[in-house]
Amino acid sequence: MRSALAICSLATAVLSAPAVAQRPPPASVSAAVTNVFDTDMESGGTVGLSAVTLTGGGNWPVSQTTTLGIQARVDIDNWKFDKPAAFGGQTPWQGTNRFSLAVPVGFSLGDGWNMSLSPSVELTGEEGADASESLGYGLTALAIKAFARDKLLGVGVGVFSNIEKTTAFPFLIIDWKIAEDWRVSNPLQVGPSGPAGLMLSYQIAPQWEIGAGAAYRTYRFRLAEDNPIAKNGVGEASYIPVFAQATYRGQTGWRFDLYGGAMTSGSLKVMDSQGENDIAEDDVKTAPTVAVAFSARF
């Protein structure tokens, strides 16, 4: 549930596409705080989550048609369980952390077309997990067509090997002005958690925008070596975030986002160390969620 409302927009996914603008996007930093309120689990007990996400990176031209970037991200999640019956009343995992690094390379193909390849590595695990068993790798490839400054469309594919599982999925990249003050875009970052989702936005004033969106998220993490349910096992969380947001854009390249919504169709699972056999799992009832985020470009 950590990344659902973080400030990870289409700009992150296309940082390495040099022809989307006349110059590469500037360096950027962002910070987000998310709170998923305590909610009931189907078999009994409750679960909640508070999370902090920090991102930063930049993009630089290396030739007239090629750019090279770097993107770093840190997710710190504090899980709160109370007597989860499906897990024998034991806490299935404590805090989980994720550290990721991506190096996007972009190519301008002419006639408004751009291509991007972004290899990445990440470390995802419960506190106390074996770092060597918590590594994941991935590659994102996408092709983008800029029809105009406010009309961008693309397709891509992500392939990730993450904690005993390899996944591949196609995704749509869009940032399209469909009417005077309306646009459709991607609210999240493509990654091991899944595609970027879709959001419909309306500009209510020059610096204010409101919108609503949804996505599908699932992610794995290595459990601690002293985990009470599965030592060195694999944890998995899946959910569908549905949210509304209000955005204020400052005149000097910064923005502030406020989110409210719900985590729906939640599921939590503990597997063995190979990630093949389920040891315990339970569904999570819909949980109200709020988040705030701040980002700046310079």
Mean pLDDT for all residues in the chain: 90
Q: For residue 150, which of 175, 125, 119, 168 has the smallest C-alpha distance?
A: 175
User: What is the Cα–Cα distance from 243 to 45, expressed in whole angstroms?
Assistant: 25
Q: What is the pTM of this model?
A: 0.88
Higher pLDDT, 195 or 17: 195
Please tell me the total number of residues recorded for the chain in this structure.
298
pLDDT of residue 11: 36
3, part of any domain: no
Interval 153-161 mean pLDDT: 95
- Cβ neighbors of 179 (< 8 A, separation 6 or more) are none
Interval 160-188 mean pLDDT: 93
Domain count along the chain: 1
pLDDT band at 6 (very low <50, low <70, confident <90, very high): very low
pLDDT of residue 175: 94
5, part of any domain: no
User: What is the Cα–Cα distance from 129 to 120, expressed in whole angstroms?
Assistant: 21
Count the neighbouring beta carbons within 10 Å of the beta carbon of residue 104.
24
pLDDT of residue 1: 37
259, part of any domain: yes
Interval 186-195 mean pLDDT: 86
Inform me whether the pLDDT recorded for 18 exceeds 90: no
2, part of any domain: no
Q: Which residue range(s) make up the domain with 256?
A: 10-297
**CATH code: domain of residue 239:** 2.40.128
111, part of any domain: yes
- Cβ neighbors of 162 (< 8 A, separation 6 or more) are 122, 124, 136, 137, 138, 192, 219, 220
Q: Are 214 and 264 in contact (CB under 8 A)?
A: no
